[in-house]
A and B are shown apart, each in its own frame.
Chain A
Amino acid sequence: MAAEAAFDFREDDRAPVLALRGDWTVDTIASLEAELSALAQRLKPGAVVDVGELGRFDVAGAYLVDRTLRGGAAGEETRIAIRGQHINALRLLQAARKAAAPPAPPPERLKGVVGLLDGVGRAVGAMGEEILQTVGFFGQTLTVLARLITSPRRIRWVSIVHTMEVAGLNALPIVLLLSFFIGMVVAYLGARILGDFGATVFTVELVAFSMLREFGAVITAVILAGRTNSAFTAEIGAMKMRQEIDAMRVMGIDPMDALVAPRVIAMVIMTPILTFGAMMSGMFGGLLVCWAELDISPVMFFARISEVVPAQHFWVGFVKAPAFALALAVIGCKQGLDVGGDVGSLGKHVTTSVVQAIFMVILMDALFALWFLEMDL
C-alpha cells in the first residue's frame, strides 16, 4: 500500500532542508500542492532536499518538488541538492528539471458580445457556403448522370443493384409498417371529426387523398433520410478518412462515377417503389379502421375510391418520389465526401446530412403543394 506523502521543513545551521517522507507519486501528491506553494514563498536559496525517508517516487512527485524549489528565491537557477540515499530521487529530479515546460496558453477566443456576433457571422457565412456547394454538387451529379446516359457501359450495375437492395428493399418493411399506422391514425381522425357532422363516409376520401397526395411520398422520404442518408454519409465518409477515395482518384476512378452515381440511380429507382408501397399500406390501414369502426366494408371502400378519387391524386404524390430521392442521395453523398480526417467531423457530417435531407424533403413538399395548387391538380 502507498504510504501517505508528507514533508518537514526545517532550517538547520547550514541550509534550509525539505525532508520528504512517505510515497511521493502521482496518486499521493494531490493534497500537498497548496502547502508546498506556500512553502515556496519562504524558501531561501541553497535549499536541500532530504530523501532519506522517502518511499516511492515518480515523475509527478519529482515535478512537484522541483516546482517548489524553482518557486523559491533563487528561481529557475536553484541547484538540485539532495541529502540521504534514494534509489531514483536525484535522477527523477534532474529529469523533471530538464524537461520542465509550462503548458502553452490556450489559443485566444473572442469573448462576450463580440464573440457571439463572431460566431453567428461565421455560422451564416458557412451556411451560405454550404448552400452554394450543395447546389454545385447537385449540378456536378447531373452532368455525371448525363455522361453515363451517353456512355452506358460506364454504369456500375453491380453497385446499383447492391444499393437498391440495401437502401431500398431492406427499408420496405419499416416503410410499410409506419405508413400502415399513419393510415390508421388518419382514418381514426376522420371517423371522429367527420362523425360529428354525420359524414363518416368521407373518411374514405380523407384516407385516400392524404395517403396518395402527401403521406406516401413524405413518410417514405423521411424514413429514407434517417436510414439511408446517414448510411451513405457514414460509408463515404469512412472511405474518405481511410484515404480510399484518394486511392480511387490516383487510379483514375472518379468517385462521382463509382460512389455517387450508383447511389443516386439506385435511390431514384427504389424510392418511387417504396412510395407506392407506402401509399397502398396506408390505405390498407385506413380500410381496416373503416371496416372495424364505421362498418364500411372493403368492397364499399374500394367502390367509393374508384368513384370519387381520380387517379391524378396518385400521380401528384408519385411524381414527388424521384425528386425527393435525388435530393436525398445528393445530400448524403456530398456530406460523405466533405468528411475530414477525424472522428468528430464524421459525426458532424452524418448529423448535417440527416438534418439537411429532412429539411429539403419538407421544403420541396411545400413547394410541390403550392405548384399543384396553382396548376389546379
Chain B
Amino acid sequence: MSDEIAICVRGLVTRFGEQTVHNGLDLDVRRGEILGVVGPSGTGKSVLLREIVELDEPTEGEITFPYFTESNLEPRRGVMFQDGALFSNLTILENVEAPLREHTHLSPNLRAEIAALKLSMAGLDPSAHHKRPAQISGGMRKRAAVARAIALDPELLFLDEPTAGLDPISAANFDEMTRDLARSLGLTVFLVTHDLDTLHAICDRVAVLYDGRVAAIGTIPEIEAKAEGWVKEYFSGPRGRAATRGAAER
C-alpha cells in the first residue's frame, strides 16, 4: 500500500427523486489497498460503486483518479457484480475471453491460455471451462466473475458483495483468493460487503457509510476505538464481536 490516491470522491451527492442517498460524501481510496465499504442497507454502497465505474451519474460532486491522471494511465476497472452477471449464452472460458477478444489482438490460442490462467488464479477448476453459467454452483459463478473482472489486468477491482450467499468455508476461501490476487497483482480493491469476517480477514481499511456520508474510515481497531451510534452497534453487536474473536484467533 502506498500514499498515492487511486480513487478520490469529493462532495458526492446522489438523489433519486425526493430521496437523498449520498449527501456530500468524501472518500479516498489509496493505491494498492483493499478497502471494505460497509453500511446499513439502502445507504448507497452499491450506488457509490456504480458511480465510480461510471454506470450511474452522481447528482453533484466529482470522482477522480489522481494516481492514474498523474502517471498518464487509464484507470482500468474490473467489476464483479453481485450475482456474477456472467453472459449466460457463453461458456465460462468464453466469458473470461470476452473482454480479451474485445480489447486486444491476442491470438485465439494465447487468449484461451490467458483466460484459463485467470480462471485458475480465481480458483476455478479446468473441468468448468466448457460449462455454462447455469450449470455451475453459485460459488463457482462468483469465481468465474472475478476471473472475468481481472481478465484485462485492471488496476482497480470492484467487488459487490462477493461472499453473499456462500457457505462459510467457500466464503473464507474466496476471501483468501481475493487477498492473494490483490497482493500478487498489486490491485486496488473496492469491496462492498456485509460480511464482518471478510472485513476482518482481508481489508486494509474499512469505510462506514451512514446517513449519506462516510461516518468512519480507517483500520478496524481505529474505527472501533472511536465508534458511536450505528458504527458501534455494527462492530460490537453479537456478530461483530464474534468476527473480532474469529480474527483474533487467526
Contact = CB atoms under 8 A, between A and B. Distances in A.
B89 A101 contact: no
B185 A92 contact: yes
Contact of A92 (B120, B127, B184): B184
Interface stretch (A128-136, A250-258, A299-307, A341-349): A341-349
Contact of B153 (A26, A94, A343): A26
A100 B117 contact: yes
B126 A30 contact: no
Contact of B121 (A25, A30, A67, A99): A99
A101 B100 CA distance: 18
A25 B153 contact: yes
A104 B130 contact: yes
Contact of B88 (A29, A91, A107, A344): A344
A67 B153 contact: no
A362 interface: no
Contact of B129 (A29, A30, A103, A343): A103
Contacts, number: 87
Given A92-B184, A99-B120, A342-B89, A60 B114 contact: yes
A60 B110 CA distance: 9
A91 B106 CA distance: 23
Contacts of B126: 101-104
B107 A340 contact: no
A27 interface: yes
A114 B28 CA distance: 62
Interface string A30-74: 110100000000000000000000000011100110010000000
A103 B116 contact: yes
Contacts of A31: 105
Most buried by A among B88, B93, B107: B88
B205 interface: no
Contacts of B19: none
A289 to B, nearest CB: 49
Given A26-B100, A29-B106, A344-B88, A88 B186 contact: yes
A26 B88 contact: no
A67 B113 contact: yes
B77 interface: no
A107 B117 contact: no
B250 to A, nearest CB: 23
Contacts of B134: 340-342
Interface residues of A, number: 33
A67 B107 CA distance: 15
B25 interface: no
Given A95-B121, A101-B116, A104-B130, A33 B186 contact: no
B133 interface: yes
Nearest to A345: B134
B164 interface: no
Contacts of B118: 59
Contacts of A26: 100, 103-104, 106, 114, 152-153
A350 to B, nearest CB: 15
Contacts of B105: 30-31
A377 interface: no
Contact of A1 (B72, B100, B133, B152): B72
A60 B88 contact: no
B117 A63 contact: yes
Contacts of A58: 153, 185
Most buried by A among B114, B117, B153, B184: B117
B88 A59 contact: no
A100 B184 CA distance: 14
A107 B110 contact: no
Interface string B80-103: 000000001100010000001001
Contacts of A99: 117, 120-121
Closest 8 CB pairs of A and B: A58-B153, A103-B116, A101-B120, A342-B88, A341-B134, A104-B126, A95-B184, A104-B129
Given A99-B120, A101-B126, 12 more contacts: A26-B114, A30-B104, A30-B105, A59-B153, A63-B114, A64-B110, A94-B184, A101-B117, A102-B116, A102-B126, A103-B113, A104-B126
